[in-house]
Structure 1
Amino acid sequence: MAVTRIIDGVAVEVWHDVASIAELAAREPLEGLTEEYVALMGQPGQVFDGQSFSDPVTAAPSPDLVDIEANRRVGLIMAQEQQLAAVARANQLLRKRIEDGSWTAAEETEADALDAAASAIGAIRVAAEALKTNPVGIPADFTDDSHWP
């Protein structure tokens, strides 16, 4: 028999050739777990409705999901709280350049790094907007790297 571990209605693990749940319990640490163990054949990732397994229904691509993906990618470059600090620092450097006419070598390096991060974040925002306004709709694989800078 096959035994499938279900967590929150989703099959997460399958054990094959198990004689009984008691045999599985002897091999696996099951104490204190509230997951169901079902003597049915399911595959990891499938949804269990209490009677049978089925493939999960994925949400249709939407502008909100594109924004979530864009924010995830921006966060890989710089966390939101760091972005606010970077904008403030960039403004300080700009004011210094206007008032003093120049930067130190360290300030120029810092300004270049801030500019590169801002450009990368801007490119992600442009790609997100292009996905959201695509005349043929948002592609199903919009999270694939091929759609992003």
Structure 2
Amino acid sequence: MKTRHKRLAIAAGVVLVIAAAATLILNAFQSNLVFFFSPTQITTKEAPVNRTFRLGGLVVAGSVKRTGVAVDFQVTDTAQSVPVHFEGILPDLFKEGKGVVAQGKLQDGVFVAKEVLAKHDENYMPPEAAEALKNAAKSNEKTSASLVVSK
């Protein structure tokens, strides 16, 4: 084999190794990417069905029902609510009417959470949850205004 062919084979091998490494890295990144959705986005079917994502909002007062270690509750963004099922120990700061972010999958209209995070103080809310609540409030104001005008 000539030196020219050897260099060409080595260069092709290096390109193949780099391409394989880039493919593996991008695949790992995509499988670990977790998006945030509000209850309104879930009810309008914008959320993925068979992928893990995060749901955020406020725990609806009076919706928490405990059965052993299983907990069922509703999360709202003041416009829509989504039922959530979680099996495990909830954080100490988990309370009705307070902010929560749950990570899991949507199954048959129920969000099955693998992890539940509660806000750590009265001033904190995840930016995505705060934005979703603000958008829901704007939507409610527009609906109320259109009802008043139509009367």
Q: Fold-level match, TM-score > 0.5?
A: no
Q: Greater share of strand residues, 1 or 2?
A: 2
Q: Greater share of helix residues, 1 or 2?
A: 1
TM-score norm. by structure 1 comes to: 0.24
Pick the structure with greater CA Rg.
1
TM-score norm. by structure 2 comes to: 0.24
